[in-house]
Structure 1
């Protein structure tokens, strides 16, 4: 019989107090977390612990419901390439969450696993249950209360859910590690339940570029200011190689993004994506930041003067951080306006 479970993660502040959980039913679930982590760490750890908790039933197919395209694509598409490169990206830097990725690779060996994308916070019973438990652990770490661990999977042993230690994306504590020589059904991992646009853009996305975007969360955890991060992202949007990458643009532009161009024309996100994909870029350009104002923990207003050749313009951008869980996700451009200098 197929084992069906939802896996989810939560981080209050992202990064911040973090939790993970997988859920089958009220009698079969498990959760854990850390004092400091990210959503992605929680999502990956939830899948890893589910694989390890069901390792004694390798003959039964496993169906994993997940609302993170990053996690699904990492495991089903990108992990083999990362492994072949020694778990490094094209620039030679380690893949984000590398210890969790290594453990997932080992835990997937010999397993029949099918991943399905589900929309988060859309009323899906299993996904909502996993999310509630992951958030409860994150809240427990935030308030200093005991973290709920759950009954676990029958026959999986009595090892407690790892929930201690401050960790970051580049050095997560994965807990128990699966044995790579585990026997069972032939190796097979598949993904189903395709997400609608703009999430589907990730399917065409270079995983190194996605990792680069997600790495800004790690930069913040190391003390980089929100204003500095946003300035770097704004400069990315001016680079020809980024403008030519529909997946990267889809990650950087908020789903409700809008722009008022130099001519005073209002443009939607779809119109801007189409225009940028056809434009070669500005060429060499100088950015002179006039102000970078943090409007709160999740918004930055950036004003700068852009000089490209013999043309100059004043630019205003609003960057925000949010996601479907009302937690802080990656920075995205919400609104932009440009006016040419006379």
Structure 2
């Protein structure tokens, strides 16, 4: 028998009040959250709790439907390399969300599982059910009210601790804990160290085959196939191991210049799948981001994130005109964007913010098509 479950996370503000959920059917699901977290942490926590909730049936294979390429890559692609390096990335920096990842690494020992990527917010029944419950949990923490925890998995003797005091420290909360106890603990929970919202979202996964639901792509991770070319005709740093993850072939590791790093990030922002990922966009856009659009409209960061989620636009290529270092922590890109509907001249100002290059200002002007 194969247990088919969707796992999803939600964060209001990213970071902000956060929730997670896994869902098999209306009689078998679980949700939780905490006052402050990220989308990625919610996604990881949903997967961790699913493994722990089914630990009493280790002979059953898990088919996990997930709309987060970051989570799939972390567990199925990057973790072995991170472990060899003492849970550090190729650049020597600590792995983000390491407490959750270590717990997942322990929970999957001896388990048979397969991840299947599904497109989020695309009408997939199980994914939509998990997303709805994760968002409801995040909303409950935002409003300071009790959230629905769900019936859990039949026969499960315990539940996983949420990130904070208990995560990774062997203090699993008992299944019989009351709702009042849960609420009293929620206000004191804090996230694990190294849990800042910096993890990059990878590009589309490998080509796949096999059963899939609602347009889902089955991923055969055992083959460890290379990623498909990106929209720009190359595998690229965001198609394989991105700037913040482990490179599969350490011999190919190359130190990117700041200009190349920023250019790669700009290319990533032109991808529709990235533009609909609020978690990733929240990382790429500076907190004080502003844009003057080609129509003359002034955009704030929040307005832009909401607009991109509803309409990510079409695939767009980039023709670099110049990349100028204005200061140690500021780079100006000038380029021509090329799309099916036409071209535009664009300028982007990227600033180094706590070790992460983030887009501070953008302006675009449509080119004369006559």
Structure-2-length-normalised TM-score: 0.57
Aligned to 1:118: 118
Tell me how far 1:259 sits from its aligned partner: 9.7
SS in structure 2 opposite 1:239? helix
Query: Structure 1 residues 209 and 48 mapped into 2: Cα distance closer, same or farther (>3 Å)?
Result: same
Whether contact under 8 Å (1:43, 1:71) holds in the other structure is yes
Aligned to 1:61: 61
Larger proportion of helix: 1
Q: Distance in 2 between matches of 1:305 and 1:189?
A: 39
Matched, 1:167 2:191: yes
Query: Structure 1 residues 68 and 336 mapped into 2: Cα distance closer, same or farther (>3 Å)?
Result: same
User: Mind listing any 5+ residue stretches in structure 2 that lack a counterpart?
Assistant: 163-181, 197-219, 247-255, 276-290, 295-313, 335-344, 351-356, 366-370
Whether contact under 8 Å (1:2, 1:60) holds in the other structure is yes
Aligned to 1:136: 136
Q: 2:240 aligns with which of 189, 192, 205?
A: 205
- 1:324-339 residue pairs with structure 2 within 5 A? 336-337=363-364
Deviation track 1:106-160 (CA, whole Å, cap 9, x = no partner) reads 1111111100000101110000000010011101101110121111001111447
Structure-1-length-normalised TM-score: 0.62
SS in structure 2 opposite 1:50? helix
SS in structure 2 opposite 1:57? coil
Query: Structure 1 residues 79 and 158 mapped into 2: Cα distance closer, same or farther (>3 Å)?
Result: closer
Query: Structure 1 residues 204 and 81 mapped into 2: Cα distance closer, same or farther (>3 Å)?
Result: same
Aligned to 1:51: 51
Q: 2:268 aligns with which of 236, 242, 251?
A: 251
Q: Report how many aligned residue pairs link the two structures.
A: 253
Aligned to 1:92: 92
Whether contact under 8 Å (1:9, 1:135) holds in the other structure is yes
Q: Relative contact order: is structure 1 or structure 2 higher (C-alpha 8 Å, sep ≥ 6)?
A: 1
Tell me how far 1:57 sits from its aligned partner: 1.0
RMSD over aligned Cα atoms: 4.2
SS in structure 2 opposite 1:170? coil
Matched, 1:104 2:139: no
Q: Distance in 2 between matches of 1:333 and 1:155?
A: 51
Q: Distance in 2 between matches of 1:249 and 1:56?
A: 46
Tell me how far 1:206 sits from its aligned partner: 2.3
Aligned to 1:286: 326
Matched, 1:40 2:35: no
Q: Distance in 2 between matches of 1:253 and 1:191?
A: 29
Aligned to 1:11: 11
Matched, 1:271 2:295: no
User: Mind listing any 5+ residue stretches in structure 1 that lack a counterpart?
Assistant: 173-187, 212-235, 261-267, 290-301, 308-313, 320-329
Tell me how far 1:42 sits from its aligned partner: 0.2
